[in-house]
Structure 1
Amino acid sequence: MVKEEYLEVYRHSLAHILAKAVMEIFGKENVQIAIGPQIADGFYYDFILPRTVTKEDYKTIENKMTEILKRKEDFTVKEVSKEEALKLFADQKFKVELINDLPEGEKITVYNTGDDFYDLCRGPHVPNAQELLSASFEIKSVSGAYWRGDEHRDMLQRIYVYAFPDKQQLKEHKKLIQEALERDHKKIGPALDLFMFDETAPGMPYWLPRGWKMFNALLDYWRGIHDKKGYEEIAAPVVNSTVLWKTSGHWAHYKNNMFLMYNEEADDNTDPDDIFKFALKPMNCPNAMMVYRRKQHSYKDLPIRYNETDLVHRKEKSGQLNGLFRVQLFRQDDCHLFVTEDQIGSEIKNIMSIANDIYNTFGLTYRVELSTRPEDFMGDINVWNKAEESLKNVLNEMFGEGGYEINEGDGAFYGPKIDLKMKDCLGREWQTGTIQLDFQLPKNFELKYVAADGSMKQPVVLHRAIFGSFERFFGIITENFKGAFPFWLSPYQVGVVPILPEHNEYAKEVADLLDKAGVRVEANYSDNNMNSKIKTFKNYKDPYIIVIGDKEVAERTVSINIRGTNKKLNNVPLEKFIEMCKQMNETHSLDVIDTID
């Protein structure tokens, strides 16, 4: 058994030990057990208990689990009939529900841990609890969770537990978790005055002046790359008639996630599908189809590459919102390419080239997944097979067979896709980029081009994003850089500190010259003392803080404090410093220059 598979068995077995411990502590007759799967760093189990579990209970539960492990009880499995299973779990309503939901003839297995605890489970488990004695586990937290994720069902207590093969691995993981908490963009963003949220607009970020400067620096960088690659930027309405979404097919698949506007003319006799007249757009695709459709195109025009950054809105459950990672209003770095079938391969390669350039700029790595046809797919299955084969051929050519993963059934409803899973400095993986191959929307919108032989043919559409959304990517890089962004991306790049009022005139000249050179600069001309001014800019994580005193004024130099270090560069010629800043902006340097040649 490979290590990862062993960890799954190991953690799943410990979940049964947790359930048994909770039953022994609270009394079997007082506990309803639900489910207890393993997860990335341990496992959880859901319960209904006679009272709320508090932090004071954690050690008691952990000690009881250790006590059970020391009994060295066997994990035994038994196949039972549906009737036997229902009788065995008659006093456990969640298990009864799960059993009743099983199709007729489904194999049902029950695992015993010792003689007094059994659970409905497919397994596998370790043969004996003694294999878990070296385990290092610790209760992480307790939270509420609705049964089967349904807010209308029972509220359960979910006990999360860290679980690793030894103490050192648990210690390292907790250290990583602490580091991740310190990097939480929901704390860093407001602390650096980048963005905020308010209950009057749940899941819809307010961009503050500093954050908006950074947002636009990111947008300018993105636009610069695409301008060089032959993309044309468009903008489209944020509100569209539901007719558009019905034509595209999104209405049938995505209506519940859309912000809808009632049809004022609707009455009791109105068809349910016509109750709503307009919707805030949840994606840009249909509008891009409309832009293409506005006039006739020739094969000589293709590929046509449109990029756009319009606002989109998606309705989410309140419990799913998570800072910039899960919002209801955002801007996708959206692109739609209209191509001939024989251009698919070359265009995907070009997209991957852009992805490499962008991720390398941020020092980020990624892996590739091919997501295939979902159950609720739209269109002809033969077209789907053709589309999937096209993507596989491209990926095989670029990465070799086995150089990417296949994620069965996770494609968009209108076509298969390539997903780019990005990894940050903590080793966390994020779904960011995607390339979706679409034969369906061109068909729905009756898109055509004049082929070389004079016939009318249907273009293929490539939907693609590299950031995923600006907001989400902003959150990811905030955590990745811990708020200390690369020079070119920082909201303000240079803070100017004149020591005394008589140094203000030269300080203003320095600030003006930096601004003229395209450097984002902020200066403090107040009567506050030097250390106070420096501290303010340090708290905002400005890459450079330049201090100006008598010597700097006399020699037309600057003295530089470098972010995150005790290193200082004294009496640097002003012109030299400006060139340094321009160089980092032009090259989108990941590192801040800390030496002067």
Structure 2
Amino acid sequence: MPPKRQLVKLKVSPEFLKTLPVFATPKAKRVKKVAEEKKSDKAGDGKHSSPGLDEPANARINTGSKELSTAGLTVHSVNANFALDKSGRPAKRWVRGTRQFKTFSGFKVKIKTWKHKSERGEKEKTEKTESKDGSPVIEPPSNSLPKQEDMNSPSTDPISSTQANHVISNKQLLYTTDRLTPGSIFFLPHGTRIFNKLVNFMKNQQTKYGFQEVISPLIYKNELWKQSGHWDNYKEDMFKVVGNDLSKEAIVEEGCRGHEDQHEYGLKPMNCPGHCLIFSKFDKSYSELPVRYSDFSSLHRNEASGALSGLTRVRRFHQDDGHIFCTLQQIHSEITNTINLIKDTYGVFGIDSAEIEFFLSTRPEKYIGEIETWDEAENQLRDVLNATAGHDGWQIREQDGAFYGPKIDILLKDAFDKKHQVGTIQLDFQLPSRFALQYTDKSGQKEQPIMIHRAVFGSLERFFAILLDHYQGAWPFWLNPRQALIVPVSEKHVEAAKDLQKQISGDIAFSDSVAPITGYNFYVDIDSRDESVGTRIKDAVQKKYSYILMIGDKDIEKGTVAVRTRESRKVSNMTPKELKELFVALERNYK
């Protein structure tokens, strides 16, 4: 087997960057010079200008980020492939050893190791394994998140998370977009399977934590948004709609702006005002609090076209939105429970508590309410963060709160080390006051409840993108839109494959009567193409099926099926009943 190779990248440190001179020539000429030197390299010239040599002004440096750039020396001034090692050669390259790079002063060295894997033949080789008692042994697909170095081909540079998402989506047919509806996502059948699994998962968790699901309207008169404060503080980020119940001509002729306002609407950017309306419809007693509403309906925000980015920044999105109406004494326990829900949820996806970043966002310049009320709310959130994340487990973001209250933001890194805000917890004393919300306390007096806004996934589209980055299409079984593929050995085994599909697909897809309202439904496909078994298995592995099931004469005779995972070539024989029980166990345990 050929020896392992290592990809070396050099990144200049901020301290060393300050000591470097700025370029004396314009950017266009610098880039042209780099191109000319690259061309001369191909001709065998081999000349380079290296940091620390006679012409430091011509040094070509990869700073790694815009934040580390200085005037005249920017990350985009030259291509990263031209970062030089101390011998004057391009440093971003495959080498046999890395000793020459480890002592290079002023530069940070990043090394990625790649081990050569031998090519497999078309015919898939398999190895059957059994335990001592003769029962089949199957290693389920890994549920852990792959490391970044495992995600990039050794022959290509890393690409952005948005580009990576598009590549995976195109291969797995998960989602698409169209210029006629910018910032909106079309989830295709396989992507919808994942989306619905995420929604159903969160609905079950919220039921456990005492939330009641509601469905609220998409559009409201601007009267509501003025009452909530969104019209004055958030109007530019909203989609405004004019109703047809009064023509524009009539409005112009009447010349009454107030009359026109009555027919101006806004698509909801968030659910909180609607949930306040629901709470206000009924008299509440202290014994009924806390009241917890959840809502999964779509939201719209008028993001600038230049800010739109794949799944992470869209105009139409879904959020696992929740609002808690509680007493002052219940704030600490409710926020603590919400943080526990967040940690439990992220843990299912292999996200450790140490990877979660908590931020306290304080009063912004543009806010509503009294400063004393804001200070009280911020102190409440500080106390909860100290109790749940520790005094050193969170950071402050000054003036980054919502206009109606301070908040706790939860950030996660994707596989490309880019941070995304996902969950949020916001404490709100303002909306209950603006909507005159009340409950009856023990003494029969009317009191104003406290409102807590919370989301765990945040935008489902954004969380979908983070999972795409982490899993790179190798979804865990319970979330996989392609859970199993049956490969009949020949055409005569297709009917047996269909019978197997019916036996292991769960309680819904092949129900003999009306499909039950609850039960398991597994996504099992059949590949009966006129291709070799090896080719079809190879295609199944590339499509990231969790399990590949092979059925032939001996399997039919024994009443079993040959089973392997996408990660392992080891094969075990299982009965359809055992296989279905395995699928049920994996789904129940989120594996």
TM-score (norm 2): 0.74
Q: Deviations over 1:511-539 (max 9, x none)?
A: 11222252221123444443443344333
Structure 1 residues 162-171 or 252-261, which shifts more? 162-171
Alignment partner, residue 556 of structure 1: 559
Alignment partner, residue 297 of structure 2: 310
**Selected match of 2:405 from 403, 415, 421:** 415
For the 8 Å contact 1:137–1:170, the answer to whether it is kept is no
Write the distance in 1 (CA, Å) between the matches of 2:33 and 2:276.
55
Supply the AA of the counterpart residue of 1:416: P
For the 8 Å contact 2:65–2:75, the answer to whether it is kept is no
Q: What is the correspondence of 1:269-418 to structure 2 with a 5 Å cutoff?
A: 269-271=255-257, 274=261, 277-364=264-351, 365-418=355-408
| Structure 1 residues 316 and 13: alpha-carbon distance in aligned structure 2, compared to 1, 3 A threshold | farther
Aligned-pair CA distance for 1:160: 7.3
Q: What is the correspondence of 1:4-43 to structure 2 with a 5 Å cutoff?
A: 7-11=13-17, 17=21, 20-21=22-23, 24-26=24-26
Indicate yes or no: 2:466 matched with 1:476: yes
For the 8 Å contact 1:308–1:335, the answer to whether it is kept is yes
Indicate yes or no: 2:171 matched with 1:215: no
Aligned-pair CA distance for 1:492: 1.9
Alignment partner, residue 534 of structure 1: 537
**Selected match of 1:579 from 560, 573, 581:** 581
Supply the AA of the counterpart residue of 1:543: S
Write the distance in 2 (CA, Å) between the matches of 1:371 and 1:345.
17
Aligned-pair CA distance for 1:7: 4.7
| Structure 1 residues 426 and 67: alpha-carbon distance in aligned structure 2, compared to 1, 3 A threshold | closer
Write the distance in 1 (CA, Å) between the matches of 2:463 and 2:409.
15
Aligned-pair CA distance for 1:569: 1.9
Write the distance in 1 (CA, Å) between the matches of 2:55 and 2:495.
79
Indicate yes or no: 2:165 matched with 1:241: no
Alignment partner, residue 195 of structure 1: 175
Structure 2 gap ranges (5+): 1-11, 40-45, 67-73, 84-103, 114-147, 508-519
Q: Deviations over 1:131-183 (max 9, x none)?
A: xx9x98238799xxxxxxxxxxxxx9964776997556255699798445588
Q: Secondary structure of 1:184's match?
A: helix
Number of matched pairs:
482
Supply the AA of the counterpart residue of 1:445: F
Write the distance in 1 (CA, Å) between the matches of 2:347 and 2:561.
32
Q: What root-mean-square deviation, in Å, do the aligned CA atoms of Structure 1 and Structure 2 show?
A: 3.4
**Selected match of 2:109 from 169, 172, 197:** 169
Q: Secondary structure of 2:574's match?
A: strand
Structure 1 residues 519-528 or 478-487, which shifts more? 519-528
| Structure 1 residues 558 and 68: alpha-carbon distance in aligned structure 2, compared to 1, 3 A threshold | closer
| Structure 1 residues 275 and 458: alpha-carbon distance in aligned structure 2, compared to 1, 3 A threshold | closer
Indicate yes or no: 2:261 matched with 1:259: no
Alignment partner, residue 56 of structure 1: 35
Write the distance in 2 (CA, Å) between the matches of 1:368 and 1:141.
24
Write the distance in 2 (CA, Å) between the matches of 1:277 and 1:353.
41
Write the distance in 2 (CA, Å) between the matches of 1:504 and 1:65.
63
Alignment partner, residue 571 of structure 2: 569
For the 8 Å contact 1:557–1:574, the answer to whether it is kept is yes
What is the percentage of aligned positions where both structures have the same residue? Answer: 34
Aligned-pair CA distance for 1:481: 0.5
Aligned-pair CA distance for 1:228: 1.4
Write the distance in 1 (CA, Å) between the matches of 2:530 and 2:389.
60
Q: Secondary structure of 1:287's match?
A: helix
Aligned-pair CA distance for 1:333: 1.0
Q: Secondary structure of 2:583's match?
A: helix
**Selected match of 2:550 from 528, 543, 547:** 547
For the 8 Å contact 1:426–1:480, the answer to whether it is kept is no
Aligned-pair CA distance for 1:240: 1.4
Q: Deviations over 1:34-72 (max 9, x none)?
A: xxxxxxxxxxxxx7x699979727979xx9996786579
For the 8 Å contact 1:262–1:275, the answer to whether it is kept is no
Write the distance in 2 (CA, Å) between the matches of 1:235 and 1:306.
10
Q: Secondary structure of 2:356's match?
A: strand
Indicate yes or no: 2:459 matched with 1:456: no
Write the distance in 2 (CA, Å) between the matches of 1:65 and 1:462.
60
For the 8 Å contact 1:369–1:404, the answer to whether it is kept is yes
**Selected match of 1:138 from 62, 72, 76:** 62
Q: Secondary structure of 1:580's match?
A: helix
For the 8 Å contact 1:141–1:159, the answer to whether it is kept is no
Q: Deviations over 1:211-238 (max 9, x none)?
A: 1111111111111111111111111111
Aligned-pair CA distance for 1:506: 2.0
Indicate yes or no: 2:185 matched with 1:205: yes
Q: Secondary structure of 1:551's match?
A: helix
Write the distance in 2 (CA, Å) between the matches of 1:579 and 1:358.
25
Indicate yes or no: 2:230 matched with 1:250: yes
Q: Secondary structure of 2:492's match?
A: helix
Write the distance in 1 (CA, Å) between the matches of 2:60 and 2:33.
21
Aligned-pair CA distance for 1:276: 6.8
| Structure 1 residues 11 and 223: alpha-carbon distance in aligned structure 2, compared to 1, 3 A threshold | farther
Alignment partner, residue 124 of structure 2: none
Structure 1 residues 525-534 or 389-398, which shifts more? 525-534
| Structure 1 residues 67 and 580: alpha-carbon distance in aligned structure 2, compared to 1, 3 A threshold | closer
Write the distance in 1 (CA, Å) between the matches of 2:215 and 2:295.
6
For the 8 Å contact 2:216–2:274, the answer to whether it is kept is yes
Supply the AA of the counterpart residue of 2:266: A
Q: Deviations over 1:241-262 (max 9, x none)?
A: 1111111111111111111113
Supply the AA of the counterpart residue of 1:436: Q
Write the distance in 2 (CA, Å) between the matches of 1:302 and 1:414.
22
Q: Deviations over 1:60-110 (max 9, x none)?
A: 9xx99967865799xxxxxxxxxxxxxxxxxxxxxxxxxxxxxxxxxxxxx
Structure 1 gap ranges (5+): 1-5, 27-46, 74-128, 143-155, 590-597
For the 8 Å contact 2:409–2:424, the answer to whether it is kept is yes
Supply the AA of the counterpart residue of 2:561: V
**Selected match of 2:505 from 515, 520, 532:** 515
Higher helix share: 1
Aligned-pair CA distance for 1:390: 0.8
Answer 1 or 2: higher relative contact order, Cα 8 Å, separation at least 6.
Answer: 2
| Structure 1 residues 274 and 479: alpha-carbon distance in aligned structure 2, compared to 1, 3 A threshold | same
**Selected match of 1:499 from 486, 489, 509:** 489
Supply the AA of the counterpart residue of 1:554: E
Aligned-pair CA distance for 1:331: 0.1
Structure 1 residues 304-313 or 389-398, which shifts more? 389-398
| Structure 1 residues 59 and 256: alpha-carbon distance in aligned structure 2, compared to 1, 3 A threshold | farther
Write the distance in 2 (CA, Å) between the matches of 1:535 and 1:380.
64
For the 8 Å contact 1:433–1:465, the answer to whether it is kept is yes
Write the distance in 2 (CA, Å) between the matches of 1:441 and 1:428.
33
Alignment partner, residue 119 of structure 2: none
Write the distance in 2 (CA, Å) between the matches of 1:57 and 1:270.
67
Write the distance in 1 (CA, Å) between the matches of 2:221 and 2:362.
30
Supply the AA of the counterpart residue of 2:555: E
Write the distance in 1 (CA, Å) between the matches of 2:366 and 2:48.
43
For the 8 Å contact 2:504–2:576, the answer to whether it is kept is no
Write the distance in 1 (CA, Å) between the matches of 2:346 and 2:195.
17
Supply the AA of the counterpart residue of 1:309: F
Alignment partner, residue 139 of structure 2: none
Write the distance in 1 (CA, Å) between the matches of 2:78 and 2:273.
42
Supply the AA of the counterpart residue of 1:207: F
